[in-house]
Amino acid sequence: MSSISTTQLASMGFKEGEHSSLEAERDKYRQGYSNMTVIVKELQQQLAQYKVRCAGVDTLAVILKEAKQESVTLARQKKALETAIANLQNRLSTNNLSASVNIEETDLYVPGTSKQTLDNLARENARLRSLLKNAEHQSGKKALDETQELRTLVEGLESDKNQLQAQLQEVEGIKLNMVRQYEETIAFLKKDTAEERERMMKCLEKCKEESNLLKNSDKDSSSARYGDKRSVECQTLGMQLDVVNNLKQSLKHLAEQCKDLDEDLDNLRVTDMGAKFADQASFGEEVLKAKEEAYQQLQEKLQEITLMNQRWQIHSDAKERQHIANVSEFKNEIEAWKQEAELNRAENMRLMQIVEELQTTLNQLRQKPHIDPSMIEILKQQIQVCTEDFNNERKDHEQALNKKKQLQAEIEELKLENGKLKQELEHINLRRLSSSSQHLESRNMPDRRSWHPGQFPAQQQQQQQQPQQQYSSVQARGEDPEDISQLPPVLFPNSGAMMRTNSPLSHVRRAKSDSPLSCECEASPSGLYIPGGIPQYMSHSQFDQGDSHAKHGQTVKRGGLTSMPPLERRKSDIDVLKNKGVMACPKCSKEFPEDQTEMLLGHIDECKD
């Protein structure tokens, strides 16, 4: 019994040492796997940093876009300055200068020999030159700062790109090393599993042989020992801790069972020896049954171990597939990083091209010829002349406005005076109508509409002589000449109207009042007011005599006043003018409508004909 237990323990100790070496190797692989996961995390962090740097490159692209926009704005400002120069050239044409003048950048134009004009243009040229210098200095300084900033950014990007390329190369080397290590570990594991598989197959064959031997032998201890050996050998297949613990527990149970079987065998031997083989047949059957049961238990344990081996094989295959998938994923990430690096490289090239284009445009703008100072001086002088003309025009405009206001005030005064004169005229007409009606009633004369030519010849002669007698009697009495309006009207045959004599006093009254009556009347040689033409009592010789005096430029004395020559207009023309509502100047026969009395009065005051 002691010999069997010692051999069993020795065999178990040997298997435990081999199992400990396998666990140490497995722990080593796990440590390597954890280290590789840490390296992968670090690489992911580096990838995030690279993405941040790519975002910085995008911001640089935005800055370059803004620089382009600023260059466009500068071009617009330049265009605006060119339009301003064109406007100044247009001002030259508006200031009585040659319209064919087209001042270019290389042309010179001298507007004239006026020293003041040249001085003004010189001052304006100096002012424009200072403005252009300030604008160019500001724009050039800003462009230089921007180019320097862009250069620094491009240099930083290039350094970052070089660093990224170096780091990418390092990452690629690390990845290759990792892949190589993984491949080596996988090959080593495959080799180990194959060896373990072969060894297990050998163990199984040995177990089968031993089981066959156990059927034919009566030694239970040997079968238990072989079963313990098989269990210990199968334990090396499990790589997980749980599986190993389960195997250890199963082995402990087997050892205990083996001990129990040994004790049972010892007891059986003692009983056999004591009973002297009394019940040898029955005891042999029981022993065989017990051995068969033990063998069945060992078979069940063997099946369990084989199942666990299969499960471990499936688990190892799954791990291998996962490892291959991880390796392919890492390869895809490396390819993506390479593509991203290529894109960054292309973007850097594009940005460099943009910077070169901006530099070329800046050099072109700097190399453009400046405006000739003499032309700027000329432009200044022209601008000064234009400003002086503008100031003079403004002063003239202000004077015209003031004069307009004065004339409007005078027009208002004349309108008021015209209204007063119209009222006075209406009052005079009313007085005349009333006096004529009273005179007719006092004389019991018939209405002029019922009067016919040829009737009452004596009365006609009396009516013709009556105004002169009344006027002479008024002068003899020394009365006021203004009372001449109280004289009765004179009836002229075939005239169709009752008229009043046009005495010298009436001329004086019209000269004082400037009423429109003086514009609508015709003066006869006898000094009568004749609105409808020459009366019949006036002889043609007298009218011809007055007309001849007017033609020879001689004035006719009427009542001590100098009158203008009579108008050379026929009765039909006067009637037409009256029907049309037209008034005429008594001096030059200029016609005015009735609604322009103020203009007629002003014309009469200024007329010299």
Instruction: Find where tokens 């026969």 sit.
Output: 589
With both helix axes pointing from N to C terminus, report the angle between 2-94 and 220-235 in degrees, rounded to the nearest 10.
10
Instruction: Give me the mean pLDDT over the 64-71 stretch.
Output: 86
User: Roughly how many angstroms between the first and final C-alpha of the chain, as a whole number?
Assistant: 176
Residue 14 has which token pair?
Answer: 């040997």
Instruction: State both tokens at 87.
Output: 């406007």
- Pick from 304, 318, 320: which is nearest to 235 by CA? 304
Instruction: Report which of 501, 495, 502 is spatially closest to residue 448, judged by C-alpha positions.
Output: 495
Model confidence at 72: pLDDT above 80: yes
**For the residues of 392-434, what is the DSSP string, one character each?**
HHHHHHHHHHHHHHHHHHHHHHHHHHHHHHHHHHHHHHHHHHH
How many CB atoms neighbour CB 191 within 10 A?
10
Side chain identity, residue 221: S
In this structure, are residues 592 and 583 in contact, taking their beta carbons and an 8 Å threshold? yes
Residue 43: its pLDDT value, please?
Answer: 84
Q: At 498, is the pLDDT very low, low, confident or very high (cuts 50, 70, 90)?
A: very low
What span, in angstroms and rounded, lies between the C-alpha atoms of 301 and 249?
12
Q: Looking at residues 541-569, what average pLDDT do you find?
A: 41
Tell me, what's the pLDDT at 414? 92
327-340 residues labelled b (16+ CB within 10 A) or e (exposed): beebeebbeebeeb
Q: Which amino acid is at 473?
A: S
For 313, other C-beta atoms within 10 Å of its C-beta total 13
Whether residue 120 contacts residue 382, with contact meaning beta carbons closer than 8 Å, is answered with yes
Q: Which of 139-153, 342-356, 470-484, 550-564 has the highest mean pLDDT?
A: 342-356
Amino acid 520: pLDDT: 38
Q: Are 221 and 214 in contact (CB under 8 A)?
A: no
Instruction: Please give the residue that has the higher pLDDT: either 389 or 164.
Output: 389
Predicted pLDDT of residue 251: 64
pLDDT higher than threshold 50 for residue 483: no
3 state SS of 489: coil
10-43, pLDDT tens digit by residue? 444 444 566 677 788 788 878 888 888 888 888 8
| DSSP conformation class of 529 | B
Considering only 60-69, 123-132, 446-455, which range has the smallest mean pLDDT?
446-455
Residues in the chain: 609
pLDDT greater than 60 at residue 70 = yes
- Which pLDDT score, from 0 to 100, does residue 448 have? 47
Query: With 80 as the cut, is the pLDDT of residue 372 above it?
Result: no
Distance CA 175, CA 155 (A): 30
Q: For the whole prediction, is pTM greater than 0.85?
A: no
pLDDT above 80: residue 591: yes
The β-bridge relationship of strands 556-558 and 498-499 is unpaired
Q: How confident is the model at residue 1 (pLDDT cuts 50, 70, 90)?
A: very low
Q: Of 78, 151, 105, 67, which is closest to residue 365 (Cα–Cα)? A: 78
Give pLDDT, residue 499: 39
d(CA 178, CA 327): 9
Measured at the alpha carbon of residue 66, what is the angle toward residues 60 and 68, in degrees to the nearest 5?
A: 105
Helix axes 280-367, 241-275, angle to 10 degrees: 170
Percent of the chain with pLDDT over 70: 51
Q: What are the pLDDT digits (tens) for 509-530? A: 444 444 444 433 333 333 333 3
The 10s digit of each residue's pLDDT in 197-212 is: 777 677 667 766 766 6
Span 250-275, mean pLDDT? 62
Q: Would you state the pLDDT for residue 607?
A: 80
Those residues with Cβ within 8 angstroms of residue 175's Cβ, 6 or more apart along the chain or in another chain: 330, 331, 334
Q: What is the 8-class DSSP label of residue 482?
A: G
Q: Quote the pLDDT of residue 409.
A: 92
Of the spans 50-59, 88-97, 120-129, 548-557, which averages the highest pLDDT? 50-59
> What's the pLDDT band for 418 if we cut at 50, 70, 90?
very high
pLDDT for 275? 53
Asked if 389 contacts 95 with a C-beta cutoff of 8 angstroms, the reply is yes
What gap in Å lies between CA 57 and CA 340, rounded to an integer? 12
Nearest to 21, CA basis, from 196, 198, 175: 196
DSSP-assigned letter for residue 523:
B
Q: Is the C-alpha dihedral spanning 35, 39, 41, 45 positive or negative?
A: positive
pLDDT of residue 502: 41
**Residue 599: in which H helix or E strand, if any?**
helix 597-606
Minimum mean pLDDT range among 17-26, 264-273, 304-313, 335-344: 264-273
Tell me what pLDDT residue 411 has.
92
| Cα distance between residue 301 and residue 334, in whole Å | 49
Across residues 315-323, what is the average pLDDT?
81
- The region of weakest confidence among 49-58, 327-336, 561-570 is 561-570
Q: 3-class DSSP state for residue 582?
A: strand
CA distances from 117 to 54, 130, 378, 387 (A): 63, 20, 8, 11
Q: What is the largest CA-CA distance in the chain?
A: 219
Tell me the pLDDT tens digit for each residue of 383-414.
Answer: 888 888 888 988 998 999 999 999 999 999 99
H or E stretch including 131? helix 115-216
Helix or strand holding residue 591 (H, E):
strand 591-593
Phi-psi region of 494 (alpha: psi -120 to 50; beta: other; left: phi over 0): left
Greater model confidence, 474 or 168? 168
Pull the structure tokens for residue 215. Answer: 């059927």
Tokens matching residue 134? 């300030």
Asked if 117 contacts 111 with a C-beta cutoff of 8 angstroms, the reply is yes
Write the CB contacts of 74 (distance below 8 Å, at least 6 apart in sequence). Answer: 139, 143
In the predicted structure, residue 598 carries a pLDDT above the cut 70: yes
Is pLDDT larger for residue 286 or for residue 318?
A: 318
pLDDT attached to residue 29: 79
Of the pLDDT bands very low, low, confident and very high (cuts 50, 70, 90), residue 299 is confident
Are the C-beta atoms of 287 and 261 separated by less than 8 Å?
A: no
Strand partners, 592: 583
Higher pLDDT, 214 or 356: 356
